[in-house]
Structure 1
Amino acid sequence: MIVGKREAWTGRVFLVLLMAFTIVPFISLFVTALHPSGSYPSGLEWPSEPRWGNFADAFRAAHMGDLLWSSTLIVLGVVPVSLVLATMAGFALGHLRMAGRHLVFLMFVLGLTLPFEGIITPLYYLVRDMGLLNTRWAIILPLIGLFMPFAVYWMRAHFINLPDDLSEAAQLDGANVWQLFWRVHVPLAAPAISSLAILLFLWTWNQFLLAIVLVDDPAKRTMAGALGAFQGQWGTDIPLLCAGSLLILAPTLIVFLIFQRRFVSALLQGSVKG
């Protein structure tokens, strides 16, 4: 299909406008964070004397060293377990001819329709009865369960498109199902697994609702979850609040920028296979 010059220029203008619409709020946050503490800057006004120390002040005021450690522990508890469970379930539902696989897959698809907000009340009482309130496990265990529908759906989409010839050749060489999974299919699924790991990391690091509701101690929350306590303490100091928000956002932005090529390649690989 040949695209005309007018359509091409329209698409470029639309992308430029979309990029500006996305970037301008971050620029506004950055410029506001450089104003004197306690001031009320307007718009994108660049300060006469940028206060770079606001970032250090926000880091100390929010105890972000403890928050980084807490977020890292939560990510390490959620992402590896979710990847292993989702990869095994996706392989079983997408490549193995197990009985009842369509019904099980339908249950995972229905799980995609459950919003966090709709189950937060019963989840609170469940976590309370388990004695896990105000612990990091109150965030880790629910997130693993809540991420499973999408993670299994993602991995199944990869395994269902793999040719059966690979499995048949490996089985002729004496490989059992476990060896077939770990030695043949997991290496081939590396792009899908790595892109899923990026998504799970971003979602876990930025988890706000569960951290606020299930954990009272800000030092045991995620970086995003601690933003609520930081806002309550420094909500009237707009520059310091903007500096803290940028510090909380920085790790996820850095991770995405580093691994964006791998993520995009996995998406394109899936689209070609589909």
Structure 2
Amino acid sequence: MIVRAREKWLGRVLLIILMLVTIMPFISLFVTALHAPGTYPSGLEWPAEPRWDNFVTAFQSANMAALLGSSFLIEIAVVPAAVLFATLAGFALGHLRPAGGRIVFVAFILGLTLPFEGIITPLYFQIREMGLLNTRWAIILPLIGLFMPFAVMWMRAHFITMPADLSEAARMDGATTWQLFWRIHIPLSVPALSSLAILLFLWTWNQFLLAIVLVNDPEKRTMAGALGAFQGQYGTDIPLLCAGSLLILTPTLIIFLIFQRHFVSALMQGSLKG
């Protein structure tokens, strides 16, 4: 009993330390954002007169109303398409297991090793040849393709753990492959689908490199991509930069808090099946 109590308290202490390490950067950003513009705050010193108007100034200076609309347009185009393609491919590789599926599986694994930085130059020339530079399609199409390796592996890992007896029973009842996919497997895949959608939403929202290189107009970029233009304008104004960063982070934090149960449910489901 004494050993279990010690382990319990040790676990709590470690969780508290981890929580503090995670939260401290956000607290530092928040406190710095409340200082007077043009100053150089040191540490976590709370300002004598908090400048809450820094958030309004950052929002207006970066034209974040237009950026919000652009980011949501990109999200609406990227996330549903990526989830759909990944679900179809994951079902085929994980459940139907067609001939040559292992070769395709290896190709997707190799795709996981490709960093964005390593392909940005050839991607730039390809997008230019397609006439899509400085358009939202220059962000949407590459992101869908770059998300496929992880997304397909995620959905394959889910479908491969589905009980074979369930599919056999549906087949005996006369279910076609499409009915098996749509009526049996999709309803059981809601946690995996929702958690994948959350991840793709966060990654798309925070996409910086593609937006900076392939799109010149800040109002056609993602919120994170527009931070580069904002930094160029207020590169020496640390409080305004922190305020802008927090405004960009806020939507992703809200989305995660709303759907965290689905995300945790998918992770727990995978651990129990594994």
- TM-score of the pair, normalised by structure 2: 0.97
Equivalence for 1:96: 96
Question: Which amino acid letter does the alignment assign opposite residue 204 of structure 1?
Answer: T
Deviation at 1:97, TM superposition (A): 3.2
Q: Where do 1:163-242 residues align within 5 Å?
A: 163-242=163-242
Question: Which amino acid letter does the alignment assign opposite residue 248 of structure 2?
Answer: I
Equivalence for 2:28: 28
Deviation at 1:162, TM superposition (A): 0.7
Distance 1:77 1:176 in 2: 30
Deviation at 1:260, TM superposition (A): 1.0
Distance 2:272 2:27 in 1: 36
Deviation at 1:210, TM superposition (A): 0.4
**Aligned in 2, Cα 1:164/1:9: closer, same or farther, shift over 3 Å?**
same
SS in 1 for 2:96: coil
Unaligned 5+ segments in structure 2 are none
Question: Which amino acid letter does the alignment assign opposite residue 121 of structure 2?
Answer: T
**Aligned in 2, Cα 1:180/1:60: closer, same or farther, shift over 3 Å?**
same
Deviation at 1:11, TM superposition (A): 2.8
Deviation at 1:195, TM superposition (A): 0.3
Following superposition, which runs of at least 4 residues in structure 1 exceed 6 angstroms of deviation?
none
Question: Which amino acid letter does the alignment assign opposite residue 41 of structure 1?
Answer: P
Unaligned 5+ segments in structure 1 are none
Question: Which amino acid letter does the alignment assign opposite residue 269 of structure 1?
Answer: Q
Q: Where do 1:11-160 residues align within 5 Å?
A: 11-160=11-160
Distance 2:3 2:16 in 1: 19
SS in 2 for 1:50: coil
SS in 2 for 1:174: coil
Deviation at 1:3, TM superposition (A): 5.9
Question: Which amino acid letter does the alignment assign opposite residue 240 of structure 2?
Answer: L
Cα RMSD between the aligned structures? 1.2
Name the count of aligned residue pairs. 273
Deviation at 1:98, TM superposition (A): 1.0
- TM-score of the pair, normalised by structure 1: 0.97
Distance 2:218 2:5 in 1: 54
Deviation at 1:170, TM superposition (A): 1.7
Question: Which amino acid letter does the alignment assign opposite residue 190 of structure 1?
Answer: V
Question: Which amino acid letter does the alignment assign opposite residue 177 of structure 2?
Answer: V
Equivalence for 2:252: 252
Distance 2:134 2:44 in 1: 40
Deviation at 1:172, TM superposition (A): 2.0
Distance 1:209 1:22 in 2: 24
Q: Can you list the C-alpha shifts for 1:216-250, whole angstroms capped at 9, x where unaligned? A: 10000000000010001011111111111100010
Distance 1:164 1:40 in 2: 62
Of stretches 172-181 and 226-235 in structure 1, the one that deviates more from structure 2 is 172-181
Q: Percent identity?
A: 76
SS in 2 for 1:95: helix
Question: Which amino acid letter does the alignment assign opposite residue 26 of structure 2?
Answer: F
Of stretches 8-17 and 19-28 in structure 1, the one that deviates more from structure 2 is 8-17
Distance 1:68 1:231 in 2: 18
Distance 2:25 2:178 in 1: 49
Distance 1:22 1:162 in 2: 35
Distance 1:120 1:59 in 2: 29
SS in 2 for 1:41: coil
Distance 1:133 1:264 in 2: 38
Deviation at 1:36, TM superposition (A): 1.4
